[in-house]
Chain A
Amino acid sequence: QSALTQPPSVSGSPGQSVTISCTGTSGDVGSYNRVSWYQQPPGTAPKLMIYEVTNRPSGVPDRFSGSKSGNTASLTISGLQAEDEADYYCSSYTSSNTLLFGGGTKLTVL
């Protein structure tokens, strides 16, 4: 099963907003609201940032928001801060009872 499709990189200046897309198929993103997003700074383990498409776990700033349309989910980070620089991964539950990750997007804060 192929990974979900994410752009390899995005960038933005402090205070700006960036959006990272995550495209799947009707067998995963398109059929379930079971999409999550993870942040992984270099050399560290991933951190859950968004679950069930739009929900934030306790402690995640509301600058992070998620959405979905059809087979594509998106993560938007508003009011960019230097500490947001990291790799971001989407994931989705699939019709095969598996979990599929995206290829990852490197966010650079200029």
Chain B
Amino acid sequence: EVQLLESGGGLVQPGGSLRLSCAASGFTFSRFAISWVRQAPGKGLEWVSVSGSVGSGGSTTYYADSVKGRFTISRDNSKGTVYLQMNSLRAEDTAVYYCAKQFSSAWFYLDYWGQGTLVTVSS
């Protein structure tokens, strides 16, 4: 059974940092891209970043403009885990952060999602 489990969320002050983790199981982790998608309270979905699979070159990463230069995605295939390092956090980064697995051969379709971890940026 495919499972994705996010952790690392919490309360952080503006300008602070936080690292989220997404632990995956139930599939061949290295073969699939993993994305982070966030949802501010009562708002819609916003794609944040993707870490490509080994087949895509392994180090392929993309970011939304809203987080570029502040967030860094990485993965450890030996641990089946993707990380999201978030620096220079702002109030508008407050959201539930989901990690999601690539569907089929395309990273931009997401078939399995975790339950999310809440990040609150507030003083």
A-to-B contact residues, CB < 8 Å = 1, 3, 34, 36, 38, 40, 45-48, 51-52, 57, 87, 89, 91, 93, 97-104
How many residue pairs bridge A and B at CB < 8 Å?
Answer: 64
A interface, over-half SS: strand
Total count of chain B residues near the partner, CB < 8 A? 24
User: Are A48 and B110 in contact (CB-based, < 8 A)?
Assistant: yes
Is the pair A48, B45 in contact by a Cβ cutoff of 8 Å?
Answer: no
Is the beta-carbon distance between B113 and A46 smaller than 8 angstroms?
yes
For B115, what are the chain A residues with a Cβ–Cβ distance below 8 Å? Answer: 45
Partner of A101, one of B47, B50, B109, B111: B47
Q: Are A89 and B44 in touch, CB under 8 angstroms?
A: yes
- Cα separation A3 to B65 with both chains bound (whole Å): 12
Inter-subunit contact A34/B47 (CB<8 Å): no
Name B103's contact: one of A57, A93, A100, A104 (CB within 8 Å): A57
A42 to B74, CA, bound (A): 30
Q: Are A48 and B47 in contact (CB under 8 A)?
A: no
Chain A residue numbers with a CB within 8 Å of B37 are 46, 101
Q: Is the CB of A100 within 8 A of B111?
A: no
